[in-house]
Amino acid sequence: MWLAVVAILIGLAILVWSADVFIEGATALAKKLGVPSFLIGVLILGLGTSAPEMVVSVLAAIDGSPELALGNAYGSNIMNIALVLGLTVLISPIIIHKSIVARDLPILLLITALAAWQLRDGFLSLADGVFLLILLMLVLGVQIFFSMGDNQTEAEQVHAHKESLSLENNSTSQHGMKDSTEAGYIEPSISRGFASLFIGMLMLVLGSRAIVWGAVELATFWGLSELIIGLTIVAVGTSLPELVASLAAARHGEHDMALGNIIGSNMFNTLGVVGLAALIAPIEANPLILSRDISMVSILTVLLFVLCTFAYLTQRKFGRLSGGALLMCFVGYTIWLIKTINM
């Protein structure tokens, strides 16, 4: 028992350190390669921070525990929106761009609706798994195509802004800039960006694994069921990379990256994590997953779309009131979960 507690504490320390390294690497790559921060959030952060969910669900499917795989995937989606994004915007509000409400969130809504439709009979077959993985590839292709198109206009605006700042700095602070250069500042390279990204991602996964192992050991010691462990402790534990990565991104001013991380992670969880688990072994879902967990994911995704659309139309930030609403949903879901433990 005490070994589990130590593993949780060490895992938390690793997560805090690795999050900054991960975001610094992602930011450096976005700037060097001219890739939109949102796309970096969807692809690299979304995939990287979903690695724990993929590992847990694949191992659960191999071990013959499909409820743990499904509970982990959908439970993580709930945590990502209600807890992770709620805390992130509570601390640092996010500006919502048109592409978020016109393309990215509608795609996530469609994916969530498809997940609910596929589980209408409480069963996921090998064919369902193949379909989900193919759809994931198509969605990623669409995201890359349109995000790179969006970046052309954004790059022009950034270039003009930089030229303006450069002229101002040259006229008012040339001496200061020289001193800064002489102090040994080195602009991050692509190789250093990839190295930071890889090390940060690896440590995020290792840290979350230590926390999940310790938490599951404690939960088993306390006699909790497999489904409850998957929906709560494992879901929260495997969502820790998303939480620390999103908070670190917001703290670094990379708000698009923070939101892209959540949207991308939920896409990977719904299509990739569940698809891989179904590819390994057919999954028969507990009816509670449909009536409670898929319903909650759907409600939260619709709520996220409504809140972001309202923020965009009113030209306000997706901020603290919305974050508070999402956190209240997390509290409500937790109470709902506790009440249905013995059902």
Residue type, 278: A
- What CATH code is carried by the domain that includes residue 295? 1.20.1420.30
Residues 6+ apart with CB under 8 A from 108: 263, 266, 267, 301, 305
- State pLDDT tens for residues 15-67: 667 666 766 777 676 667 666 766 777 766 676 667 667 776 777 777 777 66
- How many structural domains compose the chain? 1
Task: Note whether residue 16 is domain-resident.
Answer: no
Query: What pLDDT is attached to residue 299?
Result: 94
Domain that holds residue 311: 37-150+225-339
Buried/exposed 173-188: b ≥16 CB within 10 Å, e otherwise: eeeeeeeeeeeeeeeb
166 in a structural domain? no
Q: What percent of the chain shows pLDDT beyond 70? A: 67
Summarised one tens digit per residue, pLDDT across range 294-325 is 899 999 999 999 999 999 999 888 888 999 99
From the number of C-beta atoms within 10 Å of its C-beta (0-12, 13-18, 19+), residue 41 rates as buried
Is 182 inside any structural domain?
no
Can you tell me whether residue 124 is helix, strand or coil?
Answer: strand
Residues 6+ apart with CB under 8 A from 76: 50, 53, 235, 238, 239, 242, 265, 269, 273
Residue 116 lies in a domain: yes
Q: Where are the beta strands (DSSP E) in the chain?
A: 123-124, 283-284
197-213 pLDDT tens trace: 678 777 767 776 776 67
Determine the pLDDT at residue 181. 41
